[in-house]
């Protein structure tokens, strides 16, 4: 695709022929990724080890540098890597679990963004063999939730393939005594699902302390999905957390 210099775009600024500034779009995607990770950190869903990525083209991704401070993240903490983990651009190395992202992108052409975190409440359930139950409307969107039956880190291709097979065509999977993985057609979607998953697990856990929680039936789950799975509501959830970001 050719580029032209648009007079109104300022001296020397390259604009693609559809009118989008490509450099700006890259910056915007990186900024979205930064915002996602900072919001997950503030919501206590991601810790010092969590990571998120956005697919760029067929064989690359933006991902946070492994050693970065999640709460203070900036676009300078985002690197570009290929599916083998080679750094194409950036000021540091990807997390050791970059394999998790690469494995899912290989297996799922529909996935454009991946979040991996070690959230407490959803992981508590796996520690004692309790299945994730749909107890809260938004939480039904990731139900049924497949579980990877291993606490091992996804730091090699074999484990990455195993996780991708567990996830199959679902939007989320839980990893026993380890964490959760959420995928989406955008980073907004993966972020929002991470919140829904953890909130549902929290409510399930708390309800279990005082009794047997009510689980949504198939009809109720179908109605929730029809009402709640849409980009406008996902954006509203994103904006809710964005407004609170310090």
Nearer to Zn ion, 171 or 179 (CB): 179
Nearer to Zn ion, 48 or 214 (CB): 48
**Is residue 94 a contact point for Zn ion (CB under 5 A)?**
no
Nearer to Zn ion, 135 or 180 (CB): 180
Contact mark string toward Zn ion, 148..187, x via CB under 5 A:
-------------------------------x--------
CA 101 to chain centre: 10
Q: Are 204 and 213 in contact (CB under 8 A)?
A: yes
Can you spell out the DSSP letters for 168-221? TT-SEEEETTTEEEEEESSHHHHHHHHHHHHHHHHHHHHHHHHS------HHHH
- Measured from the CB of residue 223, what is the shortest distance to Zn ion in angstroms? 34
User: How big is the site for Zn ion, counted in residues (CB under 5 A)?
Assistant: 1
87: left (phi over 0), alpha (psi -120 to 50) or beta: beta
Q: Which residue is closest to Zn ion by CB?
A: 179
Nearer to Zn ion, 133 or 142 (CB): 142
- Measured from the CB of residue 97, what is the shortest distance to Zn ion in angstroms? 5
**Secondary element (H or E) of residue 233:** helix 231-244
- Distance of CA 206 to CAs 60, 136, 201, Å? 40, 12, 9
- Measured from the CB of residue 21, what is the shortest distance to Zn ion in angstroms? 35
Which residues contact Zn ion by CB under 5 A? 179
């Amino acid at each position: 695709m050719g580029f032209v210099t648009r007079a109104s775009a300022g001296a020397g600024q390259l604009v693609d022929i559809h009118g989008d500034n490509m450099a700006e779009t890259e910056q915007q995607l990186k900024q979205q990724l930064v915002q996602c990770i900072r919001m997950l950190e503030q919501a206590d869903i991601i810790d010092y080890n969590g990571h998120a990525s956005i697919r760029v083209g067929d064989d690359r991704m933006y991902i946070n540098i492994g050693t970065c401070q999640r709460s203070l993240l900036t676009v300078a903490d985002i690197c570009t890597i290929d599916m083998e983990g080679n750094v194409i651009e950036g000021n540091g190395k990807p997390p050791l679990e970059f394999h998790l992202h690469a494995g899912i992108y290989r297996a799922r052409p529909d996935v454009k963004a991946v979040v991996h975190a070690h959230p407490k409440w959803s992981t508590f359930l796996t520690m004692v063999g309790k299945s994730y139950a749909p107890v809260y409307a938004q939480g039904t969107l990731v139900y049924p939730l497949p579980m990877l039956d291993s606490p091992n880190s996804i730091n090699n291709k074999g484990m990455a393939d195993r996780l991708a097979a567990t996830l199959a065509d679902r939007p989320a999977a839980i990893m026993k005594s380890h964490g959760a993985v959420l995928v989406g057609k955008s980073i907004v979607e993966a972020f929002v699902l991470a919140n829904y998953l953890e909130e549902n697990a929290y409510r399930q856990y708390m309800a279990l302390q005082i009794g047997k929680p009510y689980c949504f039936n198939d009809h109720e789950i179908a109605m929730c999905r029809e009402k709640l799975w849409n980009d406008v509501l996902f954006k509203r959830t994103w904006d809710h957390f964005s407004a609170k970001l310090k």
